[in-house]
Amino acid sequence: MDMNSLAMLPLWYVAFLFSLTCHEAAHALVAKWGGDLTAYQAGQVTLNPLPHIRRETWGTVLVPLVSYLIGGSMIGWGSAPYDPYWEQRYPKRAALMALAGPCANIILIVVAAVLMHAGMRTGYFQGMSYVQFSAIIEGKDVAGDVATFLSILFSLNLLLALFNLFPVPPLDGNTAIGLILPDSVNDKFREFSRQPMFQMFGVLLAWLLMDRVFQPAWGIAVRLLIYPGSIGG
């Protein structure tokens, strides 16, 4: 790993941890609104990353840092506890809780896009003819670091939202299916989804499909939200 990649490590980690914290806090908040206080009582309805780190230290600290040092990008995970009996009684509320995490990531995508546009309009940031995951816009000196951070925030949250929306266990998209399934069918589907073998298969399938889904989705998102004038050009 070169020195430039090491210099970007703090920007990557702050963007990663903030995104993951928002994702899990959104789960916890919507669960609280729906009547399940499990995550709230565990202190996870917060943007303070410490409760989330204490719950999943491997997924929020160790694995992300090691994966970046080895491969130049971060992977990791978090979790928000919930009452399975509450999920069984209120499958539609549980589905909304599941969707809350990806929705938080989508909000962060929009916020990053708005800040990028504001920076380009005021001259702090400049557009780029060739864009990549961590370099959608650019700037000089401190503005360059902010531009890199916003680029990572935009791309990383799109990755997190898309990955978690795959309708396979144990990802959020699998629970979100409860919004459209009859309760009787959803009960059987939930039992099926909780089997460890299917959860391992689900994660593997989502991982294998992610490259095919992310690259075109990222290109569309950049053209629509950052460089709308490039469409059709």
- 73-to-3, 9, 16, 134, 156 alpha-carbon distances in Å: 15, 9, 10, 10, 10
- C-alpha span between 83 and 38 (Å, rounded): 6
pTM for the structure as a whole: 0.93
Longest dimension (CA), the chain: 58
* Joined tokens for residue 65: 């840092």
- Comparing CA positions, the residue from 104, 103, 91 lying closest to residue 179 is 91
Q: Which of 171, 162, 166 is nearest to 214 (CA)?
A: 162
Question: Distance (Å, rounded) from C-alpha 8 to C-alpha 16?
Answer: 12
Per-position b or e across 105-134, b if 16+ CB within 10 A of its CB: bbebbeebbebbeebbeeebbeeeeebebb
Q: Give the C-alpha distances (Å, rounded to integers) separating 147 from 30, 89, 190, 230.
A: 31, 46, 42, 20
Active site residue 24: yes
> In this predicted structure, what is the pLDDT of residue 231?
56
Instruction: State the number of CA atoms in the 13 A half-sphere of 83 facing the CB.
Output: 15
Tokens of 232: 């059709």
Q: Give residue 233's pLDDT.
A: 43
> What is the C-alpha to C-alpha distance for residues 23 and 159, in angstroms, rounded to an integer?
12
Burial class from Cβ neighbours inside 10 Å (0-12, 13-18, 19+) for residue 145 reads middle
By the 8 A CB rule, do 96 and 34 touch?
yes
User: CA 144, 152, 20 angle in degrees (round to 5)?
Assistant: 135
| Per-residue model confidence (pLDDT) at position 21 | 98
Average pLDDT for runs of 10 along the chain of length 233? 86 98 98 98 97 97 96 93 93 96 98 97 95 96 96 98 94 92 82 82 91 94 90 49
3-state class (DSSP) for residue 87 = helix
Active-site residue (options: 24, 87, 138, 191): 24
